Amino acid sequence: MRFGRRLALFFLLLAIVPTAALIAILLFVSSDSQRGKADARLAAGLQTAVAIYGGDTADATADAKRLARDPDLAAALSVVDPSRLRAFVDSAGHEPRVTRIEVLDNAGRLMAAAGSVDAVAFARVGLTQNARPVGAIRLSTTTADQYTAAVRRLTDREVVMSRGNTTLASTVTPPPEMLRPEQTADLTIGGVKYRGHAISLDARDGETVLLLGPPKSGGLLGIGPPALAILVWFLVAAVVLAWALARTLTRLHQRVAEQAVTDPLTGLWNRRYMAETLEREVARARRFGHPISLIILDVDDFKQINDHRGHMQGDIVLESVADVVREATRSIDVAARFGGDELALILVETGREGAVVVGERLGEQMRSSRVPLREGGSMGTTISIGVATIPDSAEDVDSLVDAADRALLRAKGAGKNQLRTAPTTHPEPAGERRP
């Protein structure tokens, strides 16, 4: 992965990870908070449900005590007359306040009963004769439907009333499986999600009420739309700023990296970059059996140009030579300033004859070019060129550079403005010449 992409990824992660962690924490905390609020509202509703049940039980207790003192009941119990007991409960069951009445013996067995079978909130009053127990009355003044309707009206929550595993009344479709008393869980009923809590109203009768409410309280993350919009804006701004900073630093890094390996005068690569590239390309050429050539050239009589026309004019000459070298360079080749007035050209996958063609073209272009003078006018400039190639005249980086440099010295010693090649020690492989 390139440096720019790594840097962009780093800053994006630097912006996104803390923000994502913050959002995750908000989600967890908000979820717990919202669920806690929902549970608290359920608890308040359950208190109301228990209070309603207690009120119904208190009303039933008053009526049960009144009926327990009825002489007809005492007479029926004294002789244990089933017909008189049935007549008594039938009469009591028709009273406006009584929903259901049951008379039990001392063992809790039903002796007589009348009224609705879905009655709830029973009161139990013991019966005695001559100071000894003879049974009990169980009495209810409300039905399961009446109870659930009252709870629904006062709590604004859905209600399921059950006895054991039997649902007596419900304001919604009963869940497939009832919760145990004191159990809280999330339920889905009819495609709607609820938060439910069950509580035992009468453990002896097995009567349980399940209260259902919204699973959560509040909006997304427990915050309103303005705060949510600010959070989203912050996330987007963090990503944009991180990306912009990464792009700026990437461009700065590229500029610094180029300056570190670029010659500021000629715009060609510097000697450091040339050395690194030459090591890499020579290793690759030797590994795959490809030729590689090196051209070293310098400006003829460059010292006289500096001495007679000034160093600034010498810089103009070097820039002009660099332009000629740059125009002759393929995208896969590397042109660099070797040092002083010497330039170098690495020709990858190019044999001896191909390198000679390039060198001669460079010399011809310099002979036909004119270099502008600072004071006006122009001057001619020539170059001397040395060429060496692996594998025909060198075997490694050092021998390649040395061979090209010695060839350059021979070109200058032979009168300058010409090209010399390093001596051939191995014939050039066929088919590997520069096109």
| Helical segments of 196-310, H only | 225-261, 271-288, 302-309
Cβ atoms within 10 Å of 101's Cβ, excluding its own: 27
Separation between Cα atoms, residue 45 and residue 30, nearest integer Å = 22
Q: Kind and range of the H or E element at 112?
A: strand 110-115
Residue 341 annotated as catalytic: yes
Per annotation, catalytic residue among 63, 118, 300, 341: 341
Separation between Cα atoms, residue 67 and residue 125, nearest integer Å = 10
Q: What are the strands of the beta sheet with 419-421, ordered from one edge?
A: 334-339, 342-348, 292-299, 383-390, 419-421
**What is the chain's Cα-based Rg?**
51
Separation between Cα atoms, residue 163 and residue 205, nearest integer Å = 7
- Token look-up 């007596």 returns 168
Asked if residues 135 and 104 have their Cβ atoms less than 8 Å apart, the reply is yes
Asked if residues 89 and 127 have their Cβ atoms less than 8 Å apart, the reply is no
Q: Are strands 166-170 and 292-299 parallel, antiparallel or unpaired?
A: unpaired
84's CB contacts (< 8 A; 6+ apart) are: 72, 75, 76
Active site residues: 341
